[in-house]
Every structure is written in structure tokens, then in C-alpha cells.
A = this chain, B = another copy of it.
Amino acid sequence: MNAPLRIAIAGLGTVGAGTLAALAQNRELLARRCGRTLDVVAVSARKRTKDRGTPLGLAQWFDDPVAMARDAAADVVVELIGGSDGVAKAVIEAAIARGRHVVTANKALLAIHGAELALKAETAGVALQYEAAIAGGIPIVKALREGLAGNRVERISGILNGTCNYILTDMREHGREFAAALADAQRLGYAEADPATDVDGIDAAHKLALLASLAFGARVDFGGVYQEGIRRVTRLDIEFADALGYRIKLVGSARLTEHGLEQRVHPCMVTRDNPLAHVEGVVNAVVAEGDFAGTTEYEGRGAGAGPTASAVVADLVDIALGRRSFTFGVPASELKAQPRAPIERHRGAYYLRLMVADRPGVIADVAAALRDQDVSMESMLQRGRSAQSTVPVVITTHVTEEAAMSKALAAIARLDSMGEPPRTIRIEPV
């Protein structure tokens, strides 16, 4: 049996408490797997006296997590404070500066400072691991960084935010509008009081930026992620999606195109054949396409104490066994700053929903606007008739360029038969 791995944990909220519980509950099992014990020697959190379910034992208490990262006699510092800057960053930097390994669940921080921190860690010869930052209990970082290392990844896509997936599932299953489903998610603890980070796609974008870096050896570029959330998805869109054979999902996807790295997070129409179509509720899923492995898919719970703790402990086991990897799969010094593929260059099919006055000639005007931009219609669906109010008309297009679609949309919006601005949702290929 080798010397224990000495662990300092900064932040004892849900994930921190779950990590303590996993390390305590599976202590003997982990010692067998690692050939050494995993000992929590120091902790830091806001309140010392809170009951966290697992006794802190002999762990040294620090009021200041940065002081802990600097001074505790630890081999590895686990950062579970959160936040894209400030104390979390200071904790990680202090740990690296003292030659301690780092494990973090902090997607926001890594999405912004990941390339820089990876370089610092690799220069200092320490690990910077973050399995818990993406898709909770699914070991997707390990799968991309190691399991698919023999492949050139062609595309990575996924359902990366459980809150949004819960809301969209709830809207479809119970015929609810967004606001009602959000309220429900908040009541159940699946959404925060301020839901913006989740429902506006920011959280998914953080995770996508990290996945794209891993998959393509690119410098993490959160600023390059096109983001659109789910606030504007309506019950009506979900009903039309169903009628057309689609499901609406908030999908993050990234690939290298001739225009550069394309990173997109937005609501998507996916066919029922798409592996992401059947991922429901708070579940996360990631699909990777490799040139040799083909399509592989990974599913599991993306959040919560247990799944996130599972990921944190997996990183600690790697460190305990001396299994070392480059933070983003290749040396941080070799990560390439990829040009950003503009969303205008995106090519795909589109779902277009219009609320129009129900009178002859409207469809002809819309069709002409699409034709003028060389956008080819695939299907048209009008449900319901009303002389008094507007009625919904849905059009799906063949593959076209986003720029052409935008111009056609602008022309359509100017038609005086339009009751409200046209709404589009991108249709994602399988």
C-alpha cells in the first residue's frame, strides 16, 4: 500500500458533500482500486458548523480556501466553489503554484480560463482534471480524451443541460407552455430562481466549449459559441414538431468546417431516429463521431450530488494512480486558436413557423420570399382556419445557408399578413 493521497476540498455545497460521502462510503473499495487510501486532509467552506451528512473527521479546517490551497499538506486540491472568476480561480492558481494537482467541477471558469490554466498546470507538472464539469456522472471527458484518442473526431453534439431538457420534456408530455414548465422545474429544484444560465443556453455553451477543445485540440473558445436558449420555444412549436416527426431539444454541437470551428447551442428539431431524440427529463447525453469508432453515444444523469461526486472521485483515482493526461488531450502549448465559423455560414434545414392572416395569397408571398433567396421548401402545413385571427403556418426547408434564410426571414417579416415575427428552429441532421 502506497502513501495516502492527501485531498483538500474547497467548497462543501451539494457536490462537496457528495464527494465527502463517496470518499467515505467507498473508502475500502477505492483503496483497493488505487493501492492507497484517499484521505481528505483539509476542507474549506463558508460555514464550519453545517451538517453535511458526512463527518469531516480529522480534516483541517480553513476559513480561507486560497490559504488552504497554498498551505494545507495536500497532494490535490478539489475546487467546488464555482464561479467563473474570483476565489475559485485564485484557489486553482494557488494550488498549481504550490505543485498540487487540481480537480474542479467548474465549467464556467474553465470555459473562460481553461487554456491559460491548462498551460500553467502542465508547466508546473500537475494535473488539471474536470470530469465533473461536463455531463455529471457520464465519463465523457475520459471518453473523448482517452477512449476515442485513436480517432479524428468529426462532430460532437449533446444534450448538455438537464434543466432545459426537463422543461422541454415537460412541455411536450403535458402540453405546457415554457413559463409553466419552468415554474414546475423551479419548484422541483431542477432550475434556479434565476434560470438565465440554464435556459439561455449559457451553461450548455460552457460545456460545449470544453468538449470542442477536447475533441478538436482547439483552444477553449467560449466566446465563439453561438448561443440561443429555449425561452421562445412554444407549445405550438412542440406540437408541430411532433406532427412532422421531430423532437425539440436544446442541442450543443461542434465541428470543424471549412470556415473554422463551428460551435452552436440552440433549440433543434431532431428526428426520432436521432439518438438524442429519446433522451428525456434531466438526463444528459453526448454523441461523438469519430473517423474509426463511428458514432458512439453516452447517457446519464448530468447533475446532482451523486453523479457529480462520481466524476470528482474518478479524477482523484486517476491522480492517485498517476494516470496523467494533457488537460485538453494535447499539450496546452499546442492547442490551436481556431477561427470562428460564423453562424451565417451554417448550412442546414430549417423549421419556420408563421402566424398569418388567413387569406388567399399569403403562402404565395412567403414562397416567393424563400425562392428569392434560393431557399427550397420541403413541406408546408397549415392547421386550423380563422377569419378573425391569425393562424399558424409551418414550413420546413431543404438544406440552405443561414445567411440566405435570414434574408428570406427579413422579407417575410415585412409582409403585412404577418401577425407576429416569424420563428425558426434549426433542423439537425442525425
Binding site for B on A (CB under 8 A): 18, 21-22, 25-26, 29-30, 32-33, 35, 131, 136-139, 142-143, 146-152, 217, 275, 278, 290-301, 306-307, 309-314, 316-318, 321-326, 329-331, 334
Contact check: which of B152, B217, B306, B330 meets A293 at CB < 8 Å? B306
Cross-chain contact A300 with B301 (CB below 8 angstroms): no
Q: How far is the CA of A99 from the CA of B213 in the complex (A)?
A: 36
Can you spell out 18 A-B residue pairs with CB atoms less than 8 angstroms apart?
A21-B292, A22-B151, A29-B152, A32-B330, A33-B149, A139-B142, A139-B296, A142-B142, A146-B318, A149-B317, A150-B313, A150-B314, A278-B278, A292-B309, A294-B307, A296-B299, A297-B297, A298-B298
Q: How far is the CA of A310 from the CA of B144 in the complex (A)?
A: 12
The chain B residue sitting closest to A298, CB to CB, is B298
Contact check: which of B22, B294, B326 meets A292 at CB < 8 Å? B22
- CB-CB under 8 A from A322, the residues of chain B are 324
- CB-CB under 8 A from A151, the residues of chain B are 22, 26, 310
Q: How far is the CA of A311 from the CA of B21 in the complex (A)?
A: 33
Cross-chain contact A296 with B291 (CB below 8 angstroms): no
- CB-CB under 8 A from A275, the residues of chain B are 299
- CB-CB under 8 A from A138, the residues of chain B are 293, 296
Given known pairs A137-B293, A291-B25, A291-B26, the reply for A314 and B146 (CB within 8 Å) is: yes
Cross-chain contact A296 with B293 (CB below 8 angstroms): no
- CB-CB under 8 A from A297, the residues of chain B are 297-300
The chain B residue sitting closest to A288, CB to CB, is B300
- CB-CB under 8 A from A300, the residues of chain B are 293-297
Cross-chain contact A314 with B147 (CB below 8 angstroms): yes
The chain B residue sitting closest to A326, CB to CB, is B33
The 9 closest A-B pairs by CB, nearest first: A139-B147, A150-B313, A137-B293, A296-B300, A293-B310, A292-B310, A149-B317, A297-B299, A292-B306
Closest-CB distance, A287 to chain B (whole angstroms): 9
Number of copies: 2
- CB-CB under 8 A from A25, the residues of chain B are 152, 291
- CB-CB under 8 A from A318, the residues of chain B are 146
Q: How far is the CA of A294 from the CA of B300 in the complex (A)?
A: 7
Most B CB atoms within 10 A — which of A137, A323, A329, A334? A137
Q: How far is the CA of A278 from the CA of B143 in the complex (A)?
A: 22
Q: How far is the CA of A142 from the CA of B317 in the complex (A)?
A: 13
Cross-chain contact A146 with B152 (CB below 8 angstroms): no
- CB-CB under 8 A from A309, the residues of chain B are 150, 292
Closest-CB distance, A181 to chain B (whole angstroms): 21
Most B CB atoms within 10 A — which of A18, A149, A295, A329? A149
Cross-chain contact A331 with B278 (CB below 8 angstroms): no
Q: How far is the CA of A326 from the CA of B33 in the complex (A)?
A: 8
Q: How far is the CA of A29 from the CA of B291 in the complex (A)?
A: 12
Cross-chain contact B148 with A139 (CB below 8 angstroms): yes
Closest-CB distance, A149 to chain B (whole angstroms): 4
Cross-chain contact A314 with B148 (CB below 8 angstroms): yes
Closest-CB distance, A382 to chain B (whole angstroms): 33
Contact check: which of B33, B149, B294 meets A314 at CB < 8 Å? B149
Given known pairs A296-B137, A309-B292, the reply for A321 and B325 (CB within 8 Å) is: yes
Cross-chain contact A142 with B146 (CB below 8 angstroms): yes
Most B CB atoms within 10 A — which of A25, A292, A329? A292
The chain B residue sitting closest to A306, CB to CB, is B292
Contact check: which of B32, B294, B301, B324 meets A217 at CB < 8 Å? B32
Cross-chain contact B301 with A295 (CB below 8 angstroms): yes
Q: How far is the CA of A325 from the CA of B321 in the complex (A)?
A: 8
Q: How far is the CA of A143 from the CA of B296 in the complex (A)?
A: 13
Q: How far is the CA of A317 from the CA of B292 in the complex (A)?
A: 15
Q: How far is the CA of A187 from the CA of B235 in the complex (A)?
A: 47
